[in-house]
Amino acid sequence: MDIATPSLAQGTEVILGVLKTLPGAPGVYRMLGAKGDVLYVGKAKNLKKRVVAYTRAEQLPLRLQRMVAFTTAMEIVTTHTEAEALLLEANLIKKFKPHYNILLRDDKSFPYIRVDRGGDWPRITKHRGARDDGAEYFGPFASALAVNQTLAILQKVFLLRSCSDAMLASRIRPCLLHQIKRCSAPCVGRIERPVYAKLVAQARGFLNGDSRDLQKEFAAAMAAAAERQDYEEAATYRDRIRALSQIQARQDVDLGDDRDIDLVALHRAGDLVAIQVVFFRNGRHTGNHAFFPTQTADASDAEILAAFLGQFYAGHLPAPLVLTSHAPDEADVLQQALALRAGRKVEIAQPRRGPKKALLRQAETNAADAAQRKLAESATHRQLLADVATLFGLATTPARIEVYDNSHIQGSHAVGAMIVAGPEGFEKAAYRTWNIKEAATNDDFGMMREVFRRRFARAVAEDPERTRWPDLVLIDGGKGQLSSAEEILKDLGVADVPLVGISKGPDRNAGREIFHRTGVASFQLPPTHPVLYFLQRLRDEAHRFAIGTHRAKRGRAITKSPLDTISGIGAARKKALLHHFGSARGVSEAGIEDLAGVEGISRALAQRLYDHFHGNG
């Protein structure tokens, strides 16, 4: 957020200046702060008529009055239609996360079931991410648990492989999945291609909702096997029928002619808003997930729901029918925008009676339950923060706790890491890492000094109003790391940031941590103290983040090659050289004629390679 003194009059003048050149066309507008940060993103059918409303401060809610006060500039993008403007608005909100917009922060990706289209032995797997590789996808499922349960039953029923292509090609005997009757072992020829292809077709039919027909087919096959006294095959079909019945009993719901539906239910509990999303695909319930949008205090339910739908479906394809607990603002425009996003008709409706109304009522109950759990967790979290303030003698309950840790192996690929926690839990968007550049190898104290100098020198220069400064700093380390951090803060003239070191106790056992503060005797907490668990969790998250960053850096270094630094050697030529000579060392020892014999390597480039490795460059 902007740190300059806000002025409602000045912000209004900025908007009045922009109004002079605004067209009466659909589009998106961005309110910008003094640093160019995006304060708010909005869309309009008529930009001029919409933006003029921000000049009437007395009619705006307090949230938007503050936004106008901080506005120093505006950016305008026109679009062909209001629906296009809504899609652009949602994408910009997801990208910039403006401080004054209603925000969907927990916008997770959902898993799908992926079935190969090509190859002799298509496989079935769980998938997250892009779906542009030509495979067939079924979902979304609301959680990994939901998709894993479905996959487990699919393996029982259809015996399709889940292993990688490399594993398929390298096996010489069936794996454990075949032994427990979860795979037909195409890797070693235990099934013929036409039979496997039929299983794949049956699995696709099942995922498309044709389970009843499959049950009848399996029942007929079981009866035929029993009649010819092939009881082992009959038992196999019996087990497959039972597995199908399991998944039908858990997932099948009477939705009438609508096979794909999304339910979106909103529940407000004081200042907290919970939104429950429930997926039905091919007539089956594939899970639900709760979201808690922020910046909702002065917004209506219809406004919140409209903002949620726009942002949520900016990253997910909507079902043809979206049932909502409340009618969202501008539902007609939303429908047009979602239809553009999906490439087909999308209807937003509120059922009045019947099975769909009952399902929506259950979704509202789930939203209310999620809100109560969130409130309980928040109350516990707030109490823990208050207890932390008491424990360390802080003047107020901390709103921002920063935790620091370093990671390296014998000084190599050293990184410093910072994680941030506040009243809403971990703030992962605020996490930071630093590549250690100046500290000596294995100098943990020097690494801590470097991290603190870089973090707080920038804070002093760029944020003198301390809008994003910590109320408490935790350091994974003992008195040495603590004094190193204090030394840097003293040099920068920063004297009022509370610092606490957390060191491992005797035998490095969790639960025996020692807390260090300057001027106060070091102490331990009882092993079952709730604040100890909370502080351990913060320390462990910092350690996890630092280790993960270090491993990624080390992994990138391992895959680097001396060839990467040579001009004219791109990925294709590097691959050709490594395939020809076996290794970078083989390339370095090759003569000019041998190098020039590699496809794609000219005589001049061979000379450059030779000179690079023999000190002639």
pLDDT digits (tens, 9 = 90+) for 292-316: 998 888 889 999 999 999 999 988 8
Q: Work out the pLDDT band at 375, boundaries 50, 70, 90.
A: confident
CA–CA distance, 574 with 137 (Å, rounded to integer)? 35
Rounded CA Rg of the chain = 31
Mind listing the pLDDT tens digit for each residue in 484-534? 999 999 999 988 899 999 988 665 556 678 999 988 899 999 888 889 989
Query: Is residue 428 pLDDT above 90, yes or no?
Result: no
Model pTM score: 0.66
CA–CA distance, 262 with 288 (Å, rounded to integer)? 10
In this prediction, residue 348 carries a pLDDT of 96
In this prediction, residue 592 carries a pLDDT of 85
CA–CA distance, 81 with 135 (Å, rounded to integer)? 33
What average pLDDT does this structure show over 538-554?
A: 82
CA–CA distance, 387 with 365 (Å, rounded to integer)? 33
Beta-sheet strand order (sheet of 272-281) = 284-291, 272-281, 261-269, 321-324, 347-349
CA–CA distance, 422 with 402 (Å, rounded to integer)? 9
In this prediction, residue 128 carries a pLDDT of 85
Residue 468, both tokens: 């994003």
**DSSP result, 505-529:** -GGG-TT--EEEETTEEEE---TT-
C-alpha separations of 317 from 251, 261, 328, 343 in Å? 21, 11, 18, 10
Q: What are phi and psi of 207, to 5 degrees?
A: -65, -20
Full set of structural domains in the chain with CATH = 8-96 (3.40.1440.10), 261-372 (3.30.420.340), 401-556 (3.30.420.340), 562-613 (1.10.150.20)
CA–CA distance, 251 with 281 (Å, rounded to integer)? 10
Residue length, the chain?
Answer: 617
Mind listing the pLDDT tens digit for each residue in 437-480? 776 666 788 888 999 999 999 999 888 888 889 999 999 988 99
Per DSSP bridges, beta strands 347-349 and 321-324 are parallel
Contact between 515 and 524 (Cβ < 8 Å): yes
Per DSSP bridges, beta strands 284-291 and 272-281 are antiparallel
In this prediction, residue 1 carries a pLDDT of 42
In this prediction, residue 204 carries a pLDDT of 85
In this prediction, residue 2 carries a pLDDT of 43
CA–CA distance, 140 with 268 (Å, rounded to integer)? 26
Going along 37-110, which residue ranges are E strands?
38-44, 73-78
Going along 177-304, which residue ranges are E strands?
261-269, 272-281, 284-291
> Exposed, middle or buried, 164 (CB in 10 Å: 0-12/13-18/19+)?
exposed
Residue 493, both tokens: 């003239």
In this prediction, residue 3 carries a pLDDT of 43
Contact between 143 and 163 (Cβ < 8 Å): no
Cis status, amide bond into 526, omega within 30 of 0: no
Mind listing the pLDDT tens digit for each residue in 219-276? 888 888 888 888 877 887 787 787 777 665 555 455 666 778 999 999 998 888 999 9
C-alpha separations of 491 from 166, 404, 479, 480 in Å? 57, 19, 18, 17
Residue 537, both tokens: 């969790």
Of 61-75, 137-151, 327-341, the one with minimum mean pLDDT is: 137-151
Largest CA distance in the chain: 90
Mind listing the pLDDT tens digit for each residue in 130-189? 887 888 888 888 878 878 878 887 888 888 888 888 888 888 888 888 888 888 899 988
